[in-house]
Structure 1
Amino acid sequence: MKISKYHYAAQFPRLPQVVQMIGDLLVRGDYVLGQHVEEFEHAFAEYVGVEQAVGLNSGTDALVLALRALGIGPGDEVITVANTFHATALAITTVGARPVLVDCTADDYLMDLDQVATAVTSRTRAIIAVHLFGKALDMTALTAVAERHGLAVVEDCAQAVGARWQGRQVGSWGDIGCFSFHPSKNLAAAGDGGAVTTDRADLSAAIRTLRGLGQAGQNDHVVLGCNSKLDAIQALVLSHKLPELEGWNAGRRAVADRYRQALTGVAQVPASAGPEHVFHLYQIGVDRRDEVLADLVGAGIDAVVRYPVPIHRQPAFAELGLAGDFPHADRQATGTLCLPVRPDLTIAETDYITDQVIAAVTGRTGASR
């Protein structure tokens, strides 16, 4: 049995309609921004529960432009977590600021908020809160730290679209939320794409200017901007998929529940997070990780490692001297792997996966089905 992380056909329940709409768009020549982007921005802002969403060409640009809109630059420090994706720290360095890393926790591998409070210095301007694997950080505690020290909060929501903290969507807690619509995400474009969300009119206006080459009007370049517009075709695809997202995330939680029931006591598995976790990734901790991974791949299971090299060990950041004591991030890098998780995985497929995990970890076969 071969089991993949992705099943793209399942993401298009109304494919003929989408194809027709793309064809109409191509004939009209409405390629850049325009009606479909505006419609998606409005719908996505309403979904997240904020006043404004601004479509961009990637989640990385969302982080960079968020920091630029907040006025963060050389001489500033931005706190984030050591086990995030490279783009989080890259965005900080791109605007000329310095990443200040904290460790993750030992249980869910999310940012250790106790360390955040002790990492603040006179140069700290912002915190990038990373909602990793589809689980929201404790935003009540994090925003309290930020308010106490007068810091901006940027939410990195790339892996957590639809996740909630205390019933409130990620991307609506901080000054600005940053989303990726890469094809691997829970809400996936048919290419790359991203967006920011905010209740602050000044930030949304600044990012709209920055994304359009810094233009306030045609040929009126008021700042040094960039070209980072959400493609109209991607906006059309995202608008088609957005109404399905809650159902898809519920399907991911169902798969996660089956994994947890079968693998508790065999591997370190995520705790039940109720309806607020969207399980972009399903990560388990195992001994002999690389051997277990090889066994699973050999059994046709598309298991992967996220992230094998934490930020403080990335060669690209070597000159910044970010090396430090981040034992939980290092443990995640060497002792965890991710199982396929998508809403259309069948019970038979999840049973096969868990049987193979049990066999690889313990040397015995799983329970009979």
Structure 2
Amino acid sequence: MQIWHIAWREIKVNLRDMRTFVLMLAFPIVLMLILGMALTNAFTSGLSLGDMNLLYRDTADNPQLEASWDQFTAAIAKEGVTLTPAPVDTDGKAEVSADHYTAYAEISNNGIAFFGGVMHTLESNVLQGMLATFADRYNLAAAAMIDSPEKAEAILTDTYAGGDFVAETALGSEKKPGSIDYYAMAMTTMVAFYSCMSGSFLIRGERLRNTAIRLSAAPVSKGTIFAGKVIGCTAINFLCVAAVFLFSKFVFKADWGDHYAAVLLVLLTEVLLAVSIGLGCSYLFMEDGGRLVVLIFTQIASFLGGAYFPVDDATNFMKIARDISPMRWANQALTQIIYGHDWLAAMPAIGLNTAVAAAFLAITAILMRRREAL
């Protein structure tokens, strides 16, 4: 029970300092907005297409081909393609060269002849791909007509019981974060790791306020004080992280996926890790040394962990340094949880965070017991 009293006291002490709490919230939120808006294009993989105007001449007299072509043109017209039949006296190639149309196609019993324009290469390639798909599907139906005539029409109308005839599977998820999504995640993990600062001041603050002696003289064991202060510091910092998480989700509309429990558990263990590192450094490096080490370490870890921009192409020493950044563990786990829909990806990050936190807490407990006071 005493542990929870000490933890609650730690939370109340931090909540009284609302100025610091608000600054801790404002810093990641402002960075999230500035970097997310400034680097929007860096996270955009899509391309916008212009108008696609297809001029075509249909000279086929095959009823089956005619019916298939009508179905195809109706389908691509719904996708924004403008189809124009070419009058008899019109030179389709010249019309495309004059940039009156995106491309020109001639449909006959022998196949499709396609002529793309050079002024709109991307749109022309898209139209060529559409026509190639139509030709492949028609050839498949023609082959099916030989052995199974009843299936040919079903193939052309996509009602064949077998479903898609070519199944495409991507190794990577097509869903990727936009700039706001990325920086919402990166800034949240960064502010979680900034709990190192609170951890480094957890016991040192008692010494500076001259309350360490009174705590040592109190009828409470060092272990109880230690556990209570760690729990309280972790709780108040996690509250700050949760506030950033909620703000980014509901105000900036950042995508945090569907597995909120896994996301929050990764963030909670990262906060525990950061508090443990900060507390450990305050004992390993006396006076202001621990605070300086923590300050330098958090900045390096933030940079290598991708807080300011993705660090995916690092090699040699930089790759090793990047991979041991706790923020890197958290960001990788969150990316797989949010965009890979794999909540089990949280387990390695949670395990690493907990193991490293336990090691630092054990070292700190040993060093605390060796000291006469806190």
Q: Compute the TM-score of the two structures, normalised by the length of structure 2.
A: 0.18
Higher helix residue share: 2
Whichever structure has more strand as a proportion of its residues is 1
Q: What TM-score, normalized by structure 1, do the two folds share?
A: 0.18
